[in-house]
């Protein structure tokens, strides 16, 4: 069975541009999580969804960040406008059990110049 799929794997953009990251969770999983990882701050939870509904977006750093989950098999994380301090690896994870066992995608490495 396919794991969590993320695209693109690498993104290089210039400051001020819009960036859209995509995620396809594991089929049958009903919870989806977006994380950001940097050397300085480690793994940070940005937002999570349950049954396509955003449950907690308190980790979203600013209004420049937004996330959607229009259906059970697709989610996006958008940054508009992007800034150099947004450079990080962004992970999507999904879970399908009551214990909240999370499985991570390969990540998107974002570089904002």
Partner 1 sequence: QKEVEQNSGPLSVPEGAIASLNCTYSDRGSQSFFWYRQYSGKSPELIMFIYSNGDKEDGRFTAQLNKASQYVSLLIRDSQPSDSATYLCAVYTGGFKTIFGAGTRLFVKA
Instruction: Taking the CA atoms of 20, 21, 27 and 33 in sequence, report the sign of the dihedral they define.
Output: negative
Q: Compute the distance between CA of residue 54 and CA of residue 88 in angstroms, rounded to an integer.
A: 22
Q: Would you say 75 or 95 has its CB closer to partner 1? A: 95
18 binds partner 1 (CB under 8 A): no
Q: Write out the binding residues for partner 1, residues 72-101 only, by CB under 8 A.
A: 91, 95, 99-101
Token pair of 112 as six digits: 């904002």
Cβ contact 94:34 at 8 Å: no
**Residue 32 CA to chain centroid, in angstroms?**
9
31 binds partner 1 (CB under 8 A): yes
Can you tell me which of 48, 77, 88, 110 binds partner 1, judged by CB under 8 A? 48
Q: Compute the distance between CA of residue 106 and CA of residue 35 in angstroms, rounded to an integer.
A: 12
Can you tell me which of 19, 67, 107, 110 binds partner 1, judged by CB under 8 A? 107
Query: For binding to partner 1 (CB under 8 A), which residues are involved?
Result: 31, 33, 42-43, 45, 48, 50, 55-56, 91, 95, 99-107
């Amino acid at each position: 069975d396919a794991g969590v799929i993320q695209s693109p794997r690498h993104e290089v953009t210039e400051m001020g541009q819009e960036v859209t990251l995509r995620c396809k969770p594991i089929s049958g999983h009903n919870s989806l999580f977006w994380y950001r990882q940097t050397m300085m701050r480690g793994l940070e939870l940005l937002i999570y969804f349950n049954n396509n509904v955003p449950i907690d977006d308190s980790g979203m750093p600013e209004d420049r960040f937004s996330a959607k989950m229009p259906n059970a098999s697709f989610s996006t994380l958008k940054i508009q406008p992007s800034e150099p301090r947004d450079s990080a690896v962004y992970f999507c994870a999904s879970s399908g059990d009551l214990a909240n066992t999370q499985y991570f995608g390969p990540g998107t490495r974002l570089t904002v110049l």
